[in-house]
């Protein structure tokens, strides 16, 4: 169907040029799925495009609200952009949303309590339990929510988990994975990990998908419609390429993204082996956890 986004949002024209069915949200109709995106990523415009693109692949009409923190001012996005297109949590906390997506953030090496907006994020997680039908916690947000809710910690990796990895579905009967087979590809880009033994000890959650190489991937909070996802099925084809070349230009030690470039040659265009799986994952989330309330 189509997705409605804040009026004038620059991402609108980008995805419209790709043929994505998107339009400006002038007034709320009440007949659509209301999705909020708490965008903690540094390059917010890029993240907006990624999520608009993948949400618009579903058969539902969606109203996308961009949420921002009251206690944090982004460094890499203009204040005009944040003020024009984003609404602070304090202005949204009395509303109900069908779905909420909380993204990752490049702060995974910090202790959770050292994050300047940790208290507000905890308040948003608590708020979502009563005001959101289904929540997706992505990458660092997945680690943060599992720590906040269940005391599960993250662990620093010896090197960045970076590339495209095959993941095995442990519960193929769950509707989140409908028509996805037993395995699917997904990008990973992180310096920390969750450990399977910690997840399996906690009886209020269940491990749904994992990788022999990149480890824990998707977890569900039992008796809820909340999911914790360590990877980035929403990523565009060139996202890891941009990250890799950015880190190389900064002189950082970084391995070539796993299973991404043909023949591991960064001079060749990357292969997108996860897009269809990602679309199906998000479509299933919208259909069976957000729409079917």
The 3 state secondary structure assigned to 5-35 is EECCCHHHHHHHHCCCCEEEECCCCCCCEEE
Q: Give the per-residue pLDDT at 22.
A: 87
Q: Give the per-residue pLDDT at 25.
A: 82
Residue 226 pLDDT greater than 60, yes or no: yes
Residue 60 pLDDT greater than 60, yes or no: yes
Q: Could you give the CA distance from residue 39 to residue 24 in angstroms, rounded to a whole number?
A: 19
Percent of the chain with pLDDT over 70: 98
Q: Which of 178, 16, 161, 35 is nearest to 95 (CA)?
A: 35
pLDDT digits (tens, 9 = 90+) for 108-138: 999 999 999 999 999 999 999 999 999 999 9
User: Which tokens hold the place of 254?
Assistant: 């970084």
Exactly one of 217, 232, 243, 283 is catalytic; name it.
232
Q: Give the per-residue pLDDT at 87.
A: 97
Q: Give the per-residue pLDDT at 84.
A: 95
Residue 293 pLDDT greater than 60, yes or no: no
Residue 155 pLDDT greater than 90, yes or no: yes
Percent of the chain with pLDDT over 90: 86
Summarize the confidence of residues 73-91 as an average pLDDT.
93
User: Which tokens hold the place of 94?
Assistant: 């009395």
Q: Is 12 helix (H, G, I), strand (E, B) or coil?
A: helix
What is the average pLDDT value for the chain, to the nearest integer? 94
CA-to-CA dists, residue 233 to 29, 47, 95, 207, 228, angstroms? 29, 12, 28, 17, 13
The gap from C-alpha 38 to its chain's centroid, in whole angstroms, comes to: 10
Q: Which of 45, 40, 11, 41 is nearest to 25 (CA)?
A: 11
Catalytic site includes residue 122: no
As to burial, measured by CB atoms within 10 angstroms (0-12 exposed, 13-18 middle, 19+ buried), residue 204 is exposed
Summarize the confidence of residues 270-281 as an average pLDDT.
96
The model's pTM is 0.96
Write b or e for each residue in 69-78: b if 16 or more Cβ atoms lie within 10 A of its Cβ, otherwise e. beeeebeebe
Residue 255 pLDDT greater than 60, yes or no: yes
Q: Give the per-residue pLDDT at 21.
A: 85
First to last CA, the chain: 19
Exactly one of 139, 193, 243, 283 is catalytic; name it.
139
Contact call for residues 205 and 222 (beta carbons, < 8 A): yes
Q: Which helix (H) or strand (E) holds 216?
A: strand 215-221
Q: Could you give the CA distance from residue 170 to residue 218 in angstroms, rounded to a whole number?
A: 10
Summarize the confidence of residues 262-291 as an average pLDDT.
96
Q: The domain at 3-291 falls in which architecture?
A: 3-Layer(aba) Sandwich (3.40)
pLDDT digits (tens, 9 = 90+) for 173-220: 999 999 999 999 999 999 999 999 999 999 999 999 999 999 999 999
Catalytic site includes residue 234: yes
Query: Across the strands, what pairs with 189?
Result: 162
Residue 227 pLDDT greater than 90, yes or no: yes
CA atoms within 13 A on the CB side of 13: 3
Q: How confident is the model at residue 29 (pLDDT cuts 50, 70, 90)?
A: low
Q: Is 173 helix (H, G, I), strand (E, B) or coil?
A: coil
Q: Which helix (H) or strand (E) holds 66?
A: strand 62-68
User: Where exactly are the structural domains of the chain?
Assistant: 3-291
Non-local CB neighbours of 158 within 8 Å, separated by 6+ positions: none
Q: Give the per-residue pLDDT at 215.
A: 98
Contact call for residues 217 and 229 (beta carbons, < 8 A): yes
User: Which tokens hold the place of 151?
Assistant: 């005391």
């Amino acid at each position: 169907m189509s997705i409605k986004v804040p009026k004038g949002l620059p991402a609108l024209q980008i995805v419209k040029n790709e043929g994505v069915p998107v339009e400006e949200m002038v007034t709320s109709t009440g007949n659509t799925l209301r999705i909020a995106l708490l965008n903690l990523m540094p390059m917010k415009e890029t993240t907006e495009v990624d999520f608009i693109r993948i949400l618009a692949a579903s058969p539902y009409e969606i109203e996308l609200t961009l949420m921002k923190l009251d206690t944090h001012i982004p460094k890499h996005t203009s204040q005009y952009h944040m003020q024009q297109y984003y609404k602070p949590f304090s202005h949204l906390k009395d509303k109900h949303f069908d779905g909420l997506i909380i993204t990752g953030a490049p702060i995974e090496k910090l202790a959770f309590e050292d994050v300047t907006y940790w208290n507000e994020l905890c308040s948003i997680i608590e708020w979502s339990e009563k005001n959101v039908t289904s929540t997706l916690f992505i990458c660092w947000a997945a680690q943060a929510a599992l720590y906040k809710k269940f005391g599960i910690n993250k662990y620093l990796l010896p090197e960045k988990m970076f590339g495209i990895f095959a993941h095995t579905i442990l519960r193929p009967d769950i509707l989140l994975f409908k028509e996805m087979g037993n395995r699917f590809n997904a990008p990973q880009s992180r310096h920390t990990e969750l450990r399977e033994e910690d997840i399996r000890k906690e009886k209020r959650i269940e491990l749904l998908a994992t990788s022999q190489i990149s480890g824990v991937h998707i977890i569900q909070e039992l008796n809820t419609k909340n999911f914790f996802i360590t990877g980035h099925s929403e990523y565009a084809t060139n996202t890891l390429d941009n990250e890799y070349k950015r880190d190389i230009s900064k002189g950082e030690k970084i391995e070539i993204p796993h299973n991404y470039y043909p023949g591991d040659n960064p001079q060749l265009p990357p292969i997108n082996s996860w897009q269809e799986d990602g679309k199906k994952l998000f479509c299933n989330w919208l259909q069976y956890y957000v729409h079917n309330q």
